[in-house]
A = this chain, B = another copy of it.
Amino acid sequence: MTAARVSPAKTTKGEETRARILETALELFRDRGYDETTMRAIAAQAHVSLGNAYYYFTSKETLIQAFYGRTHEEHLAASAPMLATRHTLKARLAGVMHAKLDTIEPYHRFAGVLFKTAADPASPLHPFSAESAQVREESTRLFGEVVDGADARVPDDLRAELPRLLWLYHMGIVLFWIHDNSPKRARSRKLVEMSVDLIATLIAFAANPLMRPLRKAALKMIAETK
């Protein structure tokens, strides 16, 4: 399904070549960084010609999109056991967030370039683009599960928006993580802990009838951003 999203590769042989190029690229990205890895180097190390590499990946950026799909699936896999065993909102959200950081950690070095591209609305890679829709929706669904499987009392109007809000929150954390050069990314981990706590508290607050007007106002605003 990851493969199907992007381009050719129907036959076994093509698929194999395609996979080889992608593996090589990710390896080189991880080891040398994105800018330092030339398409020529990828092609050479994958034993294909430059033109051939472009047959499978229409641009260097497309390789990044493949990376997205890949880490996203790893994240799903890593989250499943958490969601199966944890039942408080706090524990579930923290589990999913830490799983995310675990998944992308090996790529911290070139993550910057990654999300750089992602910020350009003209790029097919930016998180709100049509091309990213599938990953984004699946990811949002994951946060839906975080909420739905939790024993927290959540007002219905908020519950409807929460998956999208948490997805947005998770993007913010990733953005922080990108700039985080503390040992073992300790600052990002700390931020996850504290923000998850705060979010859980806020959600509990939101259930308070006194908070209804404020909650409604906030949700109305959020509806505008859809």
A contact residues vs B (CB 8 Å cutoff): 112-113, 115-123, 126, 128, 175-176, 178-179, 187, 190-191, 194-195, 197-198, 201-202, 205, 214, 217-218, 220-221, 224-225
Contacts and interface: CB of A to CB of B under 8 A. Distances in A.
Contacts of A187: 224-225
A120 B128 contact: no
A15 to B, nearest CB: 32
A201 B220 CA distance: 14
Contacts of A197: 217
A213 to B, nearest CB: 9
Contacts of A194: 217, 220-221, 224
Nearest to A33: B122
Given A198-B221, A201-B214, A225-B176, A122 B128 contact: no
Contact of A123 (B116, B120, B175, B198): B116
Contacts of A126: 179
Contacts of A119: 112, 115-116, 118-119, 175, 178
B116 A112 contact: no
B225 A201 contact: no
